[in-house]
């Protein structure tokens, strides 16, 4: 039995001022899939994520989120589907005037489907911040934290509703390599502990490589290389490469590394 379809693009085109920014995009993710989207700046990565949650409407094609065609839905109907999708926006996009606690609580407070008590919200926020090891920052403001910490708060906010699907937009951009790896480690932990379907948008192949080859070990709390029957695990991670709004590559890591397309291989060779 195939797993439930979580996200499906059917020949999606998005145009701004008559210029196609996404051009005939098709792919599908099933429950538990990991998808790494690589692409240069301006290739359409952020537009693709925004289209996935209905923030941008396609000019042609269809987008199915949790099996529902969202291209025809109104805002109200979209709201509840979006509540099942966690998003780490580019740069973290925290509210500067809100405390860390208020920032992380934001999706809970705004979730109509689940009316929650104040105490329950506080507990969920604390749990989410503990997950990213920032429980001590509740009363601070974003400006008091480092760039890497702010990114971790963004992750805490994205996952506080325990969404079955999480989209991460360039979570390591602008971070030093060590901090970047800490962020990817958290994404792996979230994926493996909560069994979330994961989309990672990045310009760093290294991020995708980590996602494809490392797994969280709950026994020791470490992220470890996949061993033994790891081959099938590696194959679970799919790589998509965007070039000027088109998908020029869809495949697994081995296929990606073997690609003769110079645009595709540029991503693979740059880092490792």
The residues binding ligand ADP (CB under 6 A) are 16, 21, 39, 41-47
The rounded distance, in Å, linking the Cα atoms of 146 and 148 is: 5
Residue showing the smallest CB distance to Mg ion in the complex: 46
The rounded distance, in Å, linking the Cα atoms of 218 and 114 is: 29
Contact between residue 15 and residue 21 where contact means Cβ atoms under 8 Å apart? yes
CB of 90 to Mg ion, least distance (A): 5
CB of 59 to ligand ADP, least distance (A): 12
b/e per residue 101-115 (b: at least 16 CB within 10 A): bbbbbbbbeebeeee
Q: Rule CB under 5 A: which of 39-58 touch Mg ion?
A: 45-46
CB closer to ligand ADP out of 44 and 86: 44
CB of 107 to ligand ADP, least distance (A): 22
Look at the block and give the residue holding tokens 């495949």: 251
Tokens of 111: 């979730």
CB of 266 to ligand ADP, least distance (A): 15
Total Cβ atoms within 10 A of residue 95: 12
CB closer to Mg ion out of 91 and 126: 91
178 binds, among Mg ion, ligand ADP, none (CB under 5 to 8 A by kind): none
Q: Rule CB under 5 A: which of 6-45 touch Mg ion?
A: 45
CB closer to Mg ion out of 56 and 108: 56
CB of 61 to ligand ADP, least distance (A): 16
Q: Residue 41: name the closest of 168, 198, 169, 209 by CA.
A: 169
42 binds, among Mg ion, ligand ADP, none (CB under 5 to 8 A by kind): ligand ADP
CB closer to Mg ion out of 173 and 235: 173
* Cβ neighbours for 8, distance < 8 A, ≥ 6 positions apart: 27, 28, 29, 62, 63, 64
CB of 12 to ligand ADP, least distance (A): 13
107 binds, among ligand ADP, Mg ion, none (CB under 5 to 8 A by kind): none
> DSSP letter at 183?
H
CB closer to Mg ion out of 46 and 237: 46
Total Cβ atoms within 10 A of residue 174: 12
Contact between residue 157 and residue 104 where contact means Cβ atoms under 8 Å apart? yes
Give, for 167, the enclosing helix (H) or strand (E). Answer: strand 165-169
CB closer to Mg ion out of 48 and 104: 48
The contact set with Mg ion (CB under 5 A) reads 45-46
């Amino acid at each position: 039995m195939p797993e439930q379809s979580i996200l499906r693009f059917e020949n999606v085109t998005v145009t701004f001022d008559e210029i196609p920014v996404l051009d005939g995009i098709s792919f599908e993710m099933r429950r538990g899939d990991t998808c790494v989207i690589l692409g240069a700046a301006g290739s359409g990565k952020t537009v693709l994520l925004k289209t996935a949650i209905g923030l941008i409407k396609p000019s042609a094609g269809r987008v199915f989120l949790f099996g529902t065609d969202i291209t025809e839905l109104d805002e109200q109907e979209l709201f509840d589907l979006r509540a099942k999708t966690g998003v780490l926006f580019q740069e973290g996009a925290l509210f500067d005037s809100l405390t860390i606690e208020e920032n992380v609580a934001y999706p809970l407070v705004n979730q109509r489907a689940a009316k929650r008590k104040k105490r329950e919200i506080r507990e969920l926020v604390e749990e989410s911040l503990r997950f990213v090891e920032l429980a001590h920052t509740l009363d601070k403001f974003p400006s008091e934290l480092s760039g890497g910490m702010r990114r971790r708060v963004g992750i805490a906010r994205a996952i506080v509703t325990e969404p079955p699907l999480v989209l991460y937009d360039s979570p390591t951009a602008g971070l030093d390599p060590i901090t970047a790896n800490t962020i990817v480690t958290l994404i792996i932990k979230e994926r493996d502990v909560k069994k979330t379907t994961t989309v990672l948008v990045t310009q760093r192949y290294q991020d995708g490589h980590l996602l494809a080859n490392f797994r969280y070990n709950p026994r020791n709390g470490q992220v470890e290389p996949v061993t033994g029957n790891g081959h099938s695990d590696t194959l679970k991670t799919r790589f998509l490469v965007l070039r000027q709004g088109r998908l020029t590559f869809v495949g697994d890591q081995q296929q990606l590394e073997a690609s003769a397309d110079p645009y595709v291989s540029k991503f693979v060779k740059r880092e490792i």
